[in-house]
Amino acid sequence: MSEARTDWNAMTDEDFRREVRAFYEANYPESLRFLPRRLRWAECRPWYLALSRQGWIAPAWPVEHGGMGLSPMKQIIMLEEQERIGIGRMPDQGLTQVGPTIMRFGSPAQRAKYLPPIIAGDHIWCQGYSEPNSGSDLASLQTTAVRDGDEYVINGSKIWTSMSMDATHMYVLVRTDRHAERPQAGISFMLLDMASPGITIRPIRNIAGHEEFSQVFFDNVRTPADALVGELNRGWTIAKALLGFERLGIGSPRRPRYALTRLEKVARSRGLLDDPVFADRFAQLRLDLADLGSLYRRYVDAVRRGEELGPDVSILKIWAMELNQRLSELLLEAADEHAAVSGATDFDGETVDVLAPFYMSRPGTIYGGSNEVQRNIVAKRVLRLPQE
Ligand SMILES: Cc1cc2nc3c(=O)[nH]c(=O)nc-3n(C[C@H](O)[C@H](O)[C@H](O)COP(=O)(O)OP(=O)(O)OC[C@H]3O[C@@H](n4cnc5c(N)ncnc54)[C@H](O)[C@@H]3O)c2cc1C
């Protein structure tokens, strides 16, 4: 439709913000605002489709693949407006992770087959990387894929697979050569239809009581040979590039901004902004969030220019997730006795769930690669510090 071809980058920031705000206000359901959890596909599908029809579902994608080709500044404006009215996180791994990966490493046939259904909301993706005994040491993964005619046969198990219950597809790391010299050398990157026979999904409940991830079992699951992305046994490079896109997504100021908004409401209602000690801590966190926004824009711009994300994107992930934790901790302090109450509390007419941001911020230093491991990456590959 015509909106998809509008040159959004040519608009002034103010006009663009006005247009985005009006669309979000008019189309995003009241009942899904400021939810303390990720959105399930069944509840957010109409919203996803509304964005897709508007041509706004993939702000960062190039126009040729159905995206907006949007400048980093305008992407931040969209994020800010999403935060303002409390738009929740949809199952977005197609848009933020596997989509950009297929653009970069997929064949023309794979791009044609897999990219349009992401834009249309027909394919929902999940990530099959971690296994019960392979997390930080991902290269030790044991799920296998063996060639049989025109197919690969997959056996093994993946764990902590976010939103797998809603996913139609999984991108999966599998071992295709057990005898390779280095473990990384025998891994391949494949695409898998979750409706394939032999897949069992067992949901796992998190500390907040939500079932957002699961363990997935593969019992002789077949996927066509053309679902292999890149070369056989060369999936590690693709896996790492995808993690770069994932860390960029995790490093977005979206989550910390959400926590800051909640913090400001509670602090105002309790008169804490007049307390110089509290105001000092609040201002510091606000400045840290501004720094995060600048750093994020730099990386988004690099991706837009088609540059490869280097290992230094780990710094963005560390900073975003640790800031999110510091904000959610101060929110608990600000709420005082209400911090012990689970669910929404009324603060001068504004309802705020003070525990939810705290719970949601805890795993942020684990998923996408733990922050300890990110520090190792920065030490080794960015700072090139000597190793013991
Ligand atoms: C909410 C959530 C969602 C997730 N979603 C997905 C998903 O969709 N798909 C998927 O594939 N995975 C997912 N994961 C898994 C995530 O990627 C792993 O949890 C993470 O990589 C850590 O692996 P692990 O849990 O096995 O911990 P381990 O690797 O066992 O690490 C345990 C502890 O040891 C530390 N550690 C390990 N090695 C080192 C080292 N070399 N140096 C210093 N410290 C070290 C770690 O930092 C950590 O504190 C998710 C995790 C969470 C919490």
Residues 98-112: tens digit of each pLDDT: 999 999 999 999 999
**β-strands 187-193, 228-229 pairing:** antiparallel
Residue 2 clears pLDDT 80, i.e. is over it: no
Instruction: Give residue-wise pLDDT tens across range 219-268.
Output: 999 999 999 999 999 999 999 999 999 999 899 998 899 899 899 999 99
Q: Are 271 and 203 within 8 A, CB to CB?
A: no
Q: Which residues contact 135 (CB under 8 A, 6 or more apart)?
A: 160, 370
Residue owning the nearest CA to atom 40 of ligand 1: 373
pLDDT tier at 3 (50, 70, 90 boundaries)?
A: very low
Q: Mean pLDDT of all residues in the chain?
A: 94
Residue 36 clears pLDDT 90, i.e. is over it: no
pLDDT tier at 357 (50, 70, 90 boundaries)?
A: confident
Residue 366 alpha carbon to ligand 1 centre in Å: 5
Residue 207 clears pLDDT 90, i.e. is over it: no
Residue 4 clears pLDDT 70, i.e. is over it: no
Report the greatest alpha carbon distance in the chain.
71
Name the one residue in this structure whose structure tokens are 């911020």.
361
Catalogue the E-assigned strands of 41-150. 125-128, 144-148
Residue 172 clears pLDDT 50, i.e. is over it: yes
CA distances from 288 to 235, 280, 284, 294 (A): 36, 12, 6, 10
**SS3 label, residue 236:** helix
Ligand 1 environment, Cβ below 6 A: 126-130, 135-136, 160-162, 213, 363, 366-367, 369-370, 372-373, 376
Query: Can you give the pLDDT at residue 84?
Result: 84
Instruction: Give residue-wise pLDDT tens across range 188-206.
Output: 999 999 999 999 999 999 8
Q: Which residues contact 162 (CB under 8 A, 6 or more apart)?
A: 38, 93, 126, 127, 212, 213, 367
Residue owning the nearest CA to atom 7 of ligand 1: 161
Residue 141 clears pLDDT 70, i.e. is over it: yes
Most confident of 34-43, 73-82, 99-108, 379-388: 99-108
| Alpha-carbon span 371 to 246, nearest angstrom | 14
Name the one residue in this structure whose structure tokens are 């292999």.
228
Q: Are 259 and 307 within 8 A, CB to CB?
A: no
CA distances from 94 to 35, 121, 123, 163, 272 (A): 22, 9, 8, 12, 42
- What is the position in ligand 1's atom list of the atom closest to the CA of 138? 21
| Alpha-carbon span 264 to 285, nearest angstrom | 11
* Residue in 370, 373, 377 to alter for ligand 1 test, most ligand atoms within 8 A of Cβ: 370
Residue 135 alpha carbon to ligand 1 centre in Å: 5
* Residue in 93, 129, 130 to alter for ligand 1 test, most ligand atoms within 8 A of Cβ: 130
What mean pLDDT do residues 42-58 have?
97
Residue 35 alpha carbon to ligand 1 centre in Å: 25
**β-strands 345-347, 350-352 pairing:** antiparallel
Query: Can you give the pLDDT at residue 304?
Result: 79
Tokens of 134: 């392979």
Active-site residue set: 246
Residue 349 alpha carbon to ligand 1 centre in Å: 39
* Residue in 216, 373, 376 to alter for ligand 1 test, most ligand atoms within 8 A of Cβ: 373
How many residues does the structure list for the chain?
388
